[in-house]
A and B are shown apart, each in its own frame.
Chain A
Amino acid sequence: MQPRFLPAGDSALTIEFGDTAELSLSMRIQELCHRIGQTRVQGIIEIVPALRSLTVHYDPCLCSAARLRVALLPLVIEVASALPAEADLVEAELQPAARRWSIPACYEPEHGPDVEEIASASGLLPWQVRALHACVSYRVLMLGFMPGHPYLGDLPPPLRVPRRATPRTVVPAGSIAIATSMCVIYPIASPGGWHIIGRTPVRLFDQARAEPSLLSPGDEVRFCPISSSELAELSEAADRGAWTPVPVWTGDAV
């Protein structure tokens, strides 16, 4: 698919690479974000990567959509030409993650009310749903919806189910939930339509930290199963500010 420029008003320009949410597409978008960031085009306020597009927010007093297109087109072509037509890159071909995280996850039934439903929809047993979710690594495709709220991909194909027909009015903070090809974690309690399969004690967003959002686009995430009592202990420690996870690996490749 040809990348397209889409005007989003007089102070934002979206560059769209495709119409699906896929890991390989997301990695290219993050590469483009990185390259645009390095060009230092005057008037760019911020660059927001999304699942299959990125948006450049700009100050129309210092820049214009026309000037942005001219400045960014060579970068877009470069990144797009490195994008296979079928977008079927295997994981090994992706850029290595800048950081890898091990996120504690309690999969016990009281914290994963929708596991049974996923199991029956996918023809798996509940323990297989949990094991499958915890055995693969994910990339942060995008942060959005709420501060620090990650969209992780790609979910193993057997776990891919549509969103709930009726969203819940309150999803507890720390809920790990899945739908479509992605997994999300709710940083704070909010309404939500994804299937809840577990709970993490990790605080995804804390304004008092030097880096308020724990995760950044492109980070690699694995889930590490913990028990209910460990969840309680770590939650309590996180609330006291006594515990914050650190990346298990920080690459020097990026």
Chain B
Amino acid sequence: MTLDLVGGLVVVRPGFSTTVQDRGRPGWQRFGVPVSGALDRIALAAANIVVGNATGEAALECLYQGCELEVACDSVRLAVGGGNATLEVLDTDGATCARSSALESITASRGERVRVRIAGPSISAYVAVEGGFALPQVLGSRSTYVRAALGGLEGRALRPGDVIPLVRGEAEPRGEVRLPGLDLMPQSKVRIVAGPQNEMFRGEAMRMLTEQPYIVRPESDRMGLRLAGEKLAHLKGADIVSDAIAPGAIQVPGDGQPIVMLADRQTTGGYTKIATVISADLPGLGRVGPGAEVRFELISLEFAEDLARTVAAEIAAWPQRLEEAMPSGQVMARLFGANLISGVIDGATGH
């Protein structure tokens, strides 16, 4: 391999939980292997499109905090997708020499540092690099599944000093672009379809689920979004003979508090599932953090399938919507403006 010749990104500060994720590892669930992949597949696809990659290419998923990376190759083009996330390029003296907002590409050169910030309210950001990461596919995917140490970089979250090898050692000589007009902020309204076990709940449970707000609990992780709110009562009990768990399934254990099953969900489980979040709205749940409010709205399965097709068609049209980003001088001017007013919390360093 030519990895050593090409170079990579050195992890200076890994942030709270940064893992390599692509669109996941389907096809192995019958052997108990979770699908994993990006929590927010829309942000992943958008960031990839901005750097000229296929939508499902592996990127760095930062949760709660950004990260800081040092460029150890000639040059690299990057983009970040997600909420108010930003990228900053620091020169060897640590001074900011360029900055880009979400879904705007930027190029950094050897020795420079790239700082990813998550300014909130979205808790996730995806850092895509032109050409992708030169990491091996495990069972057809580069996604990290930490519990079984599968994929990504040694099957774990990034640590200081890690080197993430790149496919390209030099950015393609072309102008920077941006993808305007996308809303990657957390959505409080989340649409669901009934089932598979809605009949195993008391009659008023679905009404409670859709009329009362639920609050995201801090124990949430990549496996499930744990919610607190009106208790959902079962008819006979919370346990069923285990069956498969679909993405977005809303599992309700004995305490009556719903859990939305996310990317790292187990393939099978033994709790009743009252409803399932539609695939068009599931990426939005990858953006909400503890304390956020979620409101569910019941729709028909046919409508949910239509919405899934609409989202796929929109993503397919994004490459045509790319526009030239501002020249760097204007970026600098804007940067000063932003620094004067924002006082952004530094996610990576905690400063």
Contacts and interface: CB of A to CB of B under 8 A. Distances in A.
Given A7-B194, A8-B195, A9-B193, A50 B244 contact: yes
A50 B240 CA distance: 12
Contacts of A100: none
A143 interface: yes
B235 interface: no
Interface in B234-280: 240-244, 246-249, 266-269, 273, 276-280
A21 B240 CA distance: 10
A84 to B, nearest CB: 19
Nearest to B31: A213
A48 B150 contact: no
Interface stretch (B22-30, B55-63, B94-102): B22-30
Interface in B298-345: 301-302, 304-305, 307-309, 312
Tier of interface size on chain B: 35 or more
A11 B246 contact: yes
Contacts of B33: 147, 212-213
Given A147-B32, A207-B138, A212-B139, A57 B26 contact: yes
A142 interface: yes
B174 interface: no
A100 to B, nearest CB: 18
Contact of B266 (A14, A52, A66, A145): A145
A200 interface: no
Contacts of B273: 8
Contacts of B248: 9
Contact of A7 (B193, B240, B242, B269): B193
A61 B29 CA distance: 21
A104 interface: no
A49 interface: yes
Contact of A9 (B197, B241, B243, B279): B279
B31 A60 contact: no
A237 interface: no
B299 to A, nearest CB: 10
Interface in A6-61: 6-12, 14, 16, 19-21, 33, 45-55, 57, 60-61
